[in-house]
């Protein structure tokens, strides 16, 4: 029996780059629906995009088919085009320089390897309800950083 996929929307946000950042995730499958968010006091937008995808995949309790939507071309291209080359070159880019955010790419690679993930880019801030909600959650993640004592 083929399992229905989990649909995931992720987004990362940063106020300043670097600056306080947040990530937001929506997971849905059938009638199941869950939202997650968090933040970091000093980070970059790309790190928050990667963190959102990591948190989403780590939230799954068992291997499942996944359709993941993000407005980050960095995330989609990294997972679908660049990652195999980086790994083959010892986490170095074509120019020989170290891969930026390699620590998170490695965690994401491991988290994704458990699932059958389809990576899809969507245009940000373009009225897609899942993307808009993930953005709201990412900004809520930043707000929690500012509200922390």
What the chain holds in terms of domains, given with CATH numbers, is 6-147 (3.30.420.10)
**Residue 83 and residue 109: Cα distance in Å, rounded?**
8
The confidence score (pLDDT) of residue 1 equals 60
Q: For residue 101, what are its two tokens?
A: 């955010």
Global pTM value = 0.95
> Is 49 known to sit in a ligand binding site?
yes
Burial class of 63 by CB neighbour count within 10 A (0 to 12, 13 to 18, 19+): exposed
The confidence score (pLDDT) of residue 47 equals 98
Residues annotated as catalytic (active site), given as ranges: 11-12, 49, 71, 125, 135
> Is 58 known to sit in a ligand binding site?
no
The confidence score (pLDDT) of residue 149 equals 63
The confidence score (pLDDT) of residue 3 equals 82
The confidence score (pLDDT) of residue 125 equals 86
The confidence score (pLDDT) of residue 148 equals 62
pLDDT lower than 70: segments of the chain: 1, 147-149
Q: For residue 141, what are its two tokens?
A: 């993640």
């Amino acid at each position: 029996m083929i399992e229905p996929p989990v649909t995931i929307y992720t987004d990362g946000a940063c106020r300043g780059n670097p600056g306080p950042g947040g990530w937001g995730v929506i997971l849905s499958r059938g009638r199941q629906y869950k939202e997650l968010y968090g933040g970091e006091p000093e980070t970059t937008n790309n790190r928050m995009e990667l963190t959102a995808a990591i948190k989403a995949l780590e939230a799954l309790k068992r291997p499942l088919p996944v359709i993941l939507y993000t407005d980050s071309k960095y995330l989609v291209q990294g997972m679908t085009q660049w990652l195999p080359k980086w790994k083959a070159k010892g986490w170095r880019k074509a120019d020989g320089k170290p891969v930026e955010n390699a620590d998170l790419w490695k965690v994401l690679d491991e988290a994704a390897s458990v699932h059958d993930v389809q990576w899809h880019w969507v245009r940000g801030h373009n009225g897609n309800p899942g993307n808009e909600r993930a953005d709201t959650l990412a900004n809520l993640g930043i707000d929690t950083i500012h509200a922390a004592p």
